[in-house]
Structure 1
Amino acid sequence: MTETQSIAVIGTGNMGRGLARVLAAAGHTVFLGSREPERALAIATELGAGRMRGMGNVEAASRASTVFLAYHSNDTLLEELAPVTEGKTVVDLSTYHEEPPPDFNPLTQVPAFESSQERTARRLPRAHVLGAFQVTWAQLFDAPLLDGRGTPVFVVGDHAGAKASLLALIRTLPFEPVDAGGLQQARTVAAMYFLVTRLAHRYGFREHGHDWRTFVRALDVLLPPVLGLAP
């Protein structure tokens, strides 16, 4: 088990709250960031059990060694974060920053457009930008175990040291990290996200009591061969 860390989670939506909660439950110190510090403070007080503090985005990132971006990034915030993330690991949770064209087929195509992770890396060139939790729906933070196993989390990135540290961090949580290759593989992970969400809308499995974990487990089988990883 890796030693506890100081971690910033930027974003107080469902993903940010869920991730911050499981990180705090694992013993890590969490700085929850928001554009509205009072909102972050209230959520941290409610969820943190003494291990979470709420504050503004820049302050949260400045206090942490690892920064999770739990929102669809925008240039203004990334500019604000750039000076306080130099040399740090920044993990972008976003699946995409633009919609695919209507004729995009996630079974046979990888998005040609830049992934959110690649875009963040361009905006934060002095940080070690990784991608993780892109296909982890917020509901999974409430019940991440399926048949006693943690839900898989696909990790992409080009910085070997930062990736190794993130893989170790995720192992302290009720999730199973999978090294899914370099940062450009975030496009493949996004394609799998589009596939699962289209299936969800077509067959309405959320409305019929099916479990997101079952579909993420399916990705655990489907995605590694697509990424060229050994079984």
Structure 2
Amino acid sequence: MTQTQSVAVIGTGNMGRGLARILAAAGHDVFLGSREPVRARQLATELGAGRVQGMGNVEAASRASLLFLAYHSNDTLLEELAPVTEGKVVVDISTYHEEPPSDFNPLTQVPSFESPQERTARRLPRAHVLGAFQVTWAQLFDAPLLDGCKTPVFVLGDHVGAKAELLALIRTLPFEPVDAGGLRQARTVAAMYFLVTRLAHQYGFREHGHDWRTSVRALNTLLPPALGLAP
């Protein structure tokens, strides 16, 4: 069984809050980082049953050996984090926040443009950058079981030891970790995310009585074969 870990969550949006809460519930000590430390401290009080502490981003990153970047990265913040992330596991959970070109076909193409995870790895060359939770809907942190089963979390990265550490950590949570290959595979994850969100928009999932669970089920079906994983 994985020991209690000290984990930093950088970001206080829906994903950051969900991660902090579920990590604390699993018994881990969480340092919640924000560019507004007062906001992080207030949120920590709401979330953590004593296991979540709020502070600034750099302080949070300096106090943990494993970090989740729960925000759309920007160069300024990555530059601030670089000195305190050397040798640490840094998990970028973000997806593309811009649409690809209109002629991009996610069924037949892997994006040629850099994924957020690859970008973070380039900006933090002394850290061990991984990808995970990119296609985890924030609502799943409140209700992790879907159709009575754990939802898979696809873990991507090139550093074997760092990946093993993250897989072990996710096993302490109500999710099913899946080793989905190297960091470049984050582009494939993005392609499937584009496909599902486009379908949701095109066919009006909500208008036809579906909600976010429809998209989760679609991704759980499409991603494993796209990543070359056995069914």
TM-score, length basis structure 1:
0.95
Q: For residue 63 of structure 1, what is the amino acid of its counterpart?
A: R
Q: For residue 68 of structure 1, what is the amino acid of its counterpart?
A: F
- Aligned runs of 1:1-231 on 2, under 5 Å? 1-96=1-96, 98-206=98-206, 208-231=208-231
SS at match of 1:99: coil
Measured in 2, the distance between the counterparts of 1:195 and 1:154 equals 17
- The CA deviation string for residues 14-45 of structure 1, in whole angstroms up to 9 with x for no partner, is 11001111001100000000000000000000
Q: For residue 78 of structure 1, what is the amino acid of its counterpart?
A: L
Q: Cα distance 1:83–1:101, how it changes in 2: closer, same or farther (>3 A)? A: same
Give the Å deviation of 1:213. 3.6
Measured in 1, the distance between the counterparts of 2:127 and 2:98 equals 23
Question: What are the ranges of 5 or more consecutive residues in structure 2 without an aligned counterpart?
Answer: none
- The CA deviation string for residues 51-103 of structure 1, in whole angstroms up to 9 with x for no partner, is 00000000000001100000000000000000100000000011126431112
Q: For residue 170 of structure 1, what is the amino acid of its counterpart?
A: I
Q: Cα distance 1:96–1:27, how it changes in 2: closer, same or farther (>3 A)? A: same
Give the Å deviation of 1:220. 2.6
What is the aligned-residue identity percentage?
A: 88
Q: Contact 1:132–1:155 at 8 Å: present in 2 too? A: yes
Measured in 1, the distance between the counterparts of 2:68 and 2:219 equals 22
SS at match of 2:173: coil
SS at match of 2:193: helix
Give the Å deviation of 1:211. 4.2
Q: For residue 86 of structure 2, what is the amino acid of its counterpart?
A: E
Give the Å deviation of 1:207. 5.1
Q: For residue 15 of structure 2, what is the amino acid of its counterpart?
A: M
Q: Contact 1:155–1:177 at 8 Å: present in 2 too? A: yes
Give the Å deviation of 1:230. 2.5
Of 111-120 and 217-226, more deviation after overlay is shown by 217-226
Q: Cα distance 1:207–1:165, how it changes in 2: closer, same or farther (>3 A)? A: farther
Q: Contact 2:205–2:214 at 8 Å: present in 1 too? A: no
Give the Å deviation of 1:109. 1.2
Measured in 2, the distance between the counterparts of 1:184 and 1:206 equals 32
Measured in 2, the distance between the counterparts of 1:135 and 1:88 equals 23
Q: Contact 1:140–1:212 at 8 Å: present in 2 too? A: no
Q: Contact 2:137–2:216 at 8 Å: present in 1 too? A: no
> Number of matched residues?
231
What value does the CA root-mean-square deviation take over the aligned residues? 1.4
Q: For residue 161 of structure 1, what is the amino acid of its counterpart?
A: G
Runs of 4+ in 1 over 4 A off after TM superposition: none
Q: Contact 1:152–1:216 at 8 Å: present in 2 too? A: no
Question: What are the ranges of 5 or more consecutive residues in structure 1 without an aligned counterpart?
Answer: none
SS at match of 1:91: strand
